Amino acid sequence: MTNERRLPRVLIARRLFPEVADRLRAHFEVDASDAPDPFAPAELAARLKDCAGVLVTGTERIDAELLATCPQLRAVCSMAVGYNNIDVPACTAAGVLASNAPGVLTETTADFGFALMMATARRVTESEHFLRAGLWKTWSYDMFAGTDVHGATLGILGMGRIGQAIARRGALGFGMKVVYHNRSRLPEADEAAVGARYASLAELLREADHLVIVVPYSASSHHLIGAAELAQMKPTATLTNIARGGVVDDAALAEALRARRIAAAGLDVFEGEPQVHPGLLTVPNVVLTPHIASASLPTRRAMADLAATNLIAALTGGTPPTALNPEALRL
């Protein structure tokens, strides 16, 4: 008679690197999604029923209702740094370890934030559409004249790792003045490293030539930038959002862009994505990208690997390196 002990079962909730699934197979029985789309909530719940752990991205919603349907679950490990899709207190209450993936995507995401801000300021996609449409007939002194980035004032809303990496690019590479607003002020040495000055939100909005939003989404940052805030910005200013849809009121932004109350916007994230507010699709002065700020293959691999490391540690008695609720392991 064989007395084989079954390995704990884990789910990889999105199609991911096969190498990461192989790493997990050394420890677990693995159910890996190979579908391009996320699971519908009912399917996710069904697949999680007998799982001890799950590797998720920013798209799976993990809340008390779902947790109640999977009593065996002990770890939810995300490859995203933002974790507004995970109800961490509900995980803790259910004795489920939750982790995110900070650090590994900082520089890649900052590169993209800077690229999007520059494309917005210098009207890169708008002018490309013009060229592709066969409209380019001659040179003109003001054709697609944009706003300078070098030497301008860079306003950063949310000064965590990614905000600081963007500040370094602006200050050290482009001679920008850096002003920021954050829930808490940085230590003076960190401010000095990039010459960043702390400001109130109102000052930030008033002073920024280019406002870059990197603040995490939560109930307190919902529609932090709406019509009233956009009205305080310079008419020549740009706004770039690489944080989360919902931090900016997209309807108010579409209207501000249409009325040219600000010059332009660069958006990688949207309220209700992958849906995009129709008003944003019809104005020319916006650069739109499909939530790709962390999308370089080495970085996506590092994000997935960090989630796998957390999952393995959580389910094999180790210490998950980037746990959001380490106390859940002790419950």
- Residue 299 neighbours by CB distance under 10 Å: 20
Q: Of the two residues 79 and 149, which places its CB atom closer to ligand 8YV in the complex?
A: 79
State whether residue 68 is helix, strand or coil. helix
Contact with ligand 8YV (CB under 6 A) among 10, 16, 33, 57: 57
Per the annotation, the verdict on 128 as an active-site residue is no
Taking CB under 6 A as the binding criterion, the range among 75-83, 157-165, 186-194, 231-239 that sits at the site for ligand 8YV is: 75-83
- How far is it, in rounded angstroms, from Cα 60 to Cα 83? 10
Whether cis (ω within 30° of 0) applies to the bond prior to 41 is no
How far the first Cα of the chain sits from its last, in Å, is 36
Q: Of the two residues 48 and 81, which places its CB atom closer to ligand 8YV in the complex?
A: 81
Closest separation in Å from C-beta 109 to ligand 8YV: 7
Catalytic residue among 123, 244, 261, 300: 244
- How far is it, in rounded angstroms, from Cα 79 to Cα 69? 23
State whether residue 125 is helix, strand or coil. helix
Q: Of the two residues 58 and 146, which places its CB atom closer to ligand 8YV in the complex?
A: 58
Q: What is the total count of residues that contact ligand 8YV (CB under 6 A)?
A: 8
- CA separation (Å) from 10 to 32, 47, 277? 8, 9, 36
Return the DSSP state at 187.
P
Closest separation in Å from C-beta 253 to ligand 8YV: 19
> In the stretch 266-295, what mask flags binding to ligand 8YV with x, by CB under 6 A?
----------------------------x-
Per the annotation, the verdict on 255 as an active-site residue is no
Q: Of the two residues 75 and 81, which places its CB atom closer to ligand 8YV in the complex?
A: 81
In sequence order, the 6+-apart residues with CB closer than 8 A to the CB of 27 are: 7, 8, 312, 315, 316
- How far is it, in rounded angstroms, from Cα 260 to Cα 254? 10
Closest separation in Å from C-beta 167 to ligand 8YV: 19
Closest separation in Å from C-beta 57 to ligand 8YV: 3
Q: Of the two residues 27 and 291, which places its CB atom closer to ligand 8YV in the complex?
A: 291
Closest separation in Å from C-beta 302 to ligand 8YV: 11
Catalytic residue among 15, 223, 291, 301: 291
CB 181 within 8 A of CB 207: no
Per the annotation, the verdict on 222 as an active-site residue is no
Taking CB under 6 A as the binding criterion, the range among 68-76, 80-88, 233-241, 254-262 that sits at the site for ligand 8YV is: 80-88
Element (DSSP H or E) covering residue 9: strand 9-12
- How far is it, in rounded angstroms, from Cα 314 to Cα 311? 5
By CB under 6 A, tell whether 82 contacts ligand 8YV. Answer: yes
Amino acid at 77: C
Whether cis (ω within 30° of 0) applies to the bond prior to 278 is no
Closest separation in Å from C-beta 243 to ligand 8YV: 8
- How far is it, in rounded angstroms, from Cα 76 to Cα 96? 7
Q: Of the two residues 162 and 253, which places its CB atom closer to ligand 8YV in the complex?
A: 162
Q: Of the two residues 82 and 95, which places its CB atom closer to ligand 8YV in the complex?
A: 82
CB 201 within 8 A of CB 228: no
Closest separation in Å from C-beta 79 to ligand 8YV: 5
104-123: contacts with ligand 8YV (CB under 6 A):
105
**Contacting residues toward ligand 8YV, per CB under 6 A:** 57-58, 79-82, 105, 294
Q: What amino acid positions are annotated as catalytic residues?
A: 244, 273, 291
